[in-house]
Amino acid sequence: MKVFPNLKSTTDKKNILKILTDIQSGVNSSQRNISFKLGISAGLANSYIKRCVSKGWVKIRSVPKKRYIYYLTPKGFIEKSKLTAEYLSSSFSLYRNMRNECNQILSNCKKKGIKKIYLYGQSELAEVLILTAKELNINFGGIYISATNKKEFFGLEICNYLPVKKIDKIILCDMKNSFKSLDFLKRNLDKEKIIIPKILNI
């Protein structure tokens, strides 16, 4: 039996898991605090909470000043455990796929003798690429990250501008705004210099 059969997106599943985990902690589990911690609107948080209540995972209790607090039911504890296991399983699978693709990308660059490789965007993908590069004895030229005061990212120098003339290849690592970042790269570099990992699905 699938966990959360009515939840179609990974985002929904993650948010539900965060809500159940937050409620289980028992620390200020109000709708307002839940929406703040998840970074979503109060209305969307309310929608998730109602779904949890309708499934019998969460119960509501009234407290003074017309406020409500939430707590997990025994059924809620079971569902949270199932969703946690599902999330960890999918995360490990994603990580394995990411590692394999990073290894393939960098191995191909090494075979072709490409030296000046840069990364674009801060993400888990960039972290995995940096770790994989160390295993293959590959040194990146740097990583482009916009709007940051940091000098390094996982030991790699951060470029606050795109060093166009130095780049032989640049690997797109932005997982949040992939299309926007790709458009920026295409406007500033030859398409042949841009590597787009398949895991980004663009």
Torsion angle defined by CA atoms of residues 28, 34, 35 and 37, in that order, rounded to the nearest 10 degrees: 90
Q: What is the pLDDT of residues 167-188, one digit of tens each?
A: 999 999 998 889 999 999 999 9
If phi over 0 gives left and psi between -120 and 50 gives alpha, with beta otherwise, what is residue 139?
beta
Q: Does a structural domain hold residue 63? A: yes
On whether residue 24 sits in a domain, the answer given is: yes
Range of the domain at 124: 97-200
Q: What is the pLDDT of residues 20-74, one digit of tens each?
A: 888 887 666 677 888 887 788 888 888 888 889 999 998 887 766 556 778 888 8
CATH at residue 193? 3.40.50.720
Q: Is residue 55 part of a domain?
A: yes
Q: What is the rounded average pLDDT of the residues 109-117?
A: 94
- Residue 5 inside a domain? The answer is no
Report the domain count for the chain.
2
Are 103 and 191 in the same domain? yes
Contact 127, 145 (CB under 8 A): no
Please report whether residue 20 resides in a domain: yes
CATH code of 34's domain: 1.10.10.10
Q: What is the pTM of this model?
A: 0.63
Separation CA 135–CA 188 (nearest Å): 30
